[in-house]
Structure 1
Amino acid sequence: MTDSQQHYLLIINGKSAGNPALREAVNEQRQAGMLITVRATWEGGDAADIAEQSHAMGMTHVIACGGDGTVSEVMNGLMRLPHDRRPALGIVPLGSANDFATSVGLPLEPGAALAAARELSAYPIDVVRVTAGSGGESATSYYINMTTGGFGAEVTSSTPKTLKRLLGGGAYSLMGALKAWRHRSYRGTLHWDEKEESASLLLLALGNGRQSGGGQVLGPRAKLDDGRLDVLLVKDFRSVTELTKLISELQSFPYDGRFVRYFTTTQLTVTTQENDSPWPLTLDGEARYYDQFCAEVVPLALRVLLPEECPLLSSNNRP
């Protein structure tokens, strides 16, 4: 497909619409022949609605300009379209964490990221569908990177946004260290494959990608296109000695450690009992509480602009 046949829709988080570097990047690429239409968001849900309209607008590519939350919202809008009508997704990272963009090796500077979007190939990757419910009501959404449940979700939600901006990825680690001493575990029954297990967990991570929370690697062996969900379970601890063992296991991510378990599946469901606390779960960068949720892989559902050497593609077998 030639440049004249490619039309790029930039969906910009409204807070970043005046970003000088982004404006300069758009002007440079337009002068270089890139056909660009720009839309900025005003309120929550706008990014998904605009993305859903992209095919009708004649777009071949949709570029999410913002942080992980913006990427998630744009991707959810694209998933409303039939498979054969979904434009390719690109990313110009403008957030404080940018976990997905960082892990796949995309440029983090707006000019370089937009220039790369013009040159990169689109690779089909898996998407994870989450159906989560509370109080008899449920909703479905999608993600391409990772969702966390339990303590990990609380950390992301409770870290002040100002602190995130000031400290970047370090903000998540700082709040995590502070919370670890007043941590709270969550009980639930887990179902995957033909297994069922009740557990009290400090952290549950469900990864299509590898990292979350501003650089915390929770799915070190995840691939974006293998049809598998990488699952990390971190069980509760009761003493400093047990915490030391837990931290040690997090260095190797064993299949069946005392406190840490790491395995893959295509679907995992968590349910709570009547007296159990609802689970905090991050689906778009913010924690919400659910009595039950199910995550399942939708294989090769979306084309994403990625570097050829991206370590999260199965064609690149290095870790």
Structure 2
Amino acid sequence: MNSDCSMLRLLVNGKSAQSPALRDVVEATREKGARLEVTVTWEAGDAVRLAEQAGKDGVSRLIVAGGDGTVNEAVNGLMRLSREDRPALGVLPMGTANDLATGLGIPDELSEAMDLALNASLRAVDVLSVGDHYFLNMLSAGFGAEITASTPKTLKRLLGGGAYSLMGALKARRFHACPARLEWPEGEGHRELFLLAIGNGAQAGGGQRLSPLARLDDGLLEVLTVRQFSSLSGMRQMIAELKRLPASGEYVEYWQTDQVRVTADQPLPLTLDGEPHRMTQLDVSLEHHAIDLMAPKTCQLLESAAPKS
């Protein structure tokens, strides 16, 4: 076990606290000699506070057991700390979609994910922000955000990521585009948005790959816009163009930049790592190499060849 793992804390989403598999992993980790503390969330916002407190307590590695929303809260807590006080972040995927963990290549099997969190080299990654909200994986606005926000939790539990596809099929033809103006250092323009995705990671919505060029450590964010279609043939073409990403087409545009402003005519439904919000203006920027992350050596979302020592 790495020597820098001397101060470990596991932050568990309360919904997963009674998991026998998780309890077995915690017990096995302690039997190997690790001093692993466990904290559990009770309600929304707890993970923000608990992650910040972990840094204040001198924790070296904070391992989050939960889904994308719990990880998002933890990231927001870490960003309240100075860079040198932020614990490195590990993830045990225990949510519905686990888009970030899947993109990183973190194993689904909890014992393997814990082994990675304990022993992986640290990799400095970027964190994106919208105002005082931070996110590590993906912002989606328009149709994608509406589906995420409106998919019932019971359906998510029953169907997993497939629930998003089902709700999307039911609602796509009835969705009204969101007019917005986009401005970024290299350009600007008006868009009738069916979908907007601004990514640091590669996928959202239960496995929908929206940012094929994404790297968490390259100092760039990915922007995907999808224009509203008005016919069944237009929808088919839009879907075909999405399969050809990162190429742009008649309905789909894709580019990389380091910041973007989105100004909408009315509040946009959006999600930050799956957590719902509504905003009229989005100023999206990034903080380069803001958090240290534990990820597999073969992670496709990391550009840097050498891990942080």
Deviation at 1:55, TM superposition (A): 2.4
Q: Which residue of 2 aligns with 1:155?
A: 147
Conserved? CA contact 1:88–1:304, under 8 Å: yes
Q: Flag the 1:190–1:73 CA change in 2: closer, same or farther, 3 A.
A: same
Establish whether residue 306 from structure 1 lines up as the match of residue 298 from structure 2: no
Superposition TM-score, scaled by structure 1 size: 0.92
Q: Flag the 1:97–1:5 CA change in 2: closer, same or farther, 3 A.
A: closer
SS of structure 2 residue aligned to 1:277 = strand
Q: Which runs of 5+ in 2 are unaligned?
A: none
What code does the residue aligned with 1:74 have? A
Selected match of 2:274 from 276, 285, 308: 285
Superposition TM-score, scaled by structure 2 size: 0.95
What root-mean-square deviation, in Å, do the aligned CA atoms of Structure 1 and Structure 2 show?
A: 1.4
Q: Matches of 1:179 and 1:287 in 2, distance apart? A: 18
Aligned residues: 305
Q: Which residue of 2 aligns with 1:105?
A: 105
Deviations 1:57-103 (A, max 9, x none): 22100011100000000111011100111110000111010000011
Deviation at 1:194, TM superposition (A): 4.0
Selected match of 2:243 from 246, 251, 265: 251
- Equivalence map 1:1-319=2 (5 Å): 2-3=2-3, 6-131=6-131, 140-272=132-264, 276-315=265-304
What code does the residue aligned with 2:238 have? L
Deviations 1:227-249 (A, max 9, x none): 00011100011111111211111
Determine what percentage of the aligned residue pairs are the same residue: 49
Q: Matches of 1:13 and 1:263 in 2, distance apart? A: 35
What code does the residue aligned with 1:287 have? P
Deviation at 1:2, TM superposition (A): 4.6
SS of structure 2 residue aligned to 1:250 = helix
Which structure 1 residue ranges, 4+ long, deviate > 6 Å from structure 2?
A: none
Q: Which runs of 5+ in 1 are unaligned?
A: 132-139
Conserved? CA contact 1:168–1:214, under 8 Å: yes
Deviations 1:19-64 (A, max 9, x none): 1100100000100111101000111111111111112222100011
Conserved? CA contact 2:63–2:90, under 8 Å: yes
Q: Which residue of 2 aligns with 1:135?
A: none
Q: Matches of 1:79 and 1:86 in 2, distance apart? A: 7
Q: Matches of 1:110 and 1:2 in 2, distance apart? A: 19
Q: Which residue of 2 aligns with 1:134?
A: none
What code does the residue aligned with 1:203 have? L
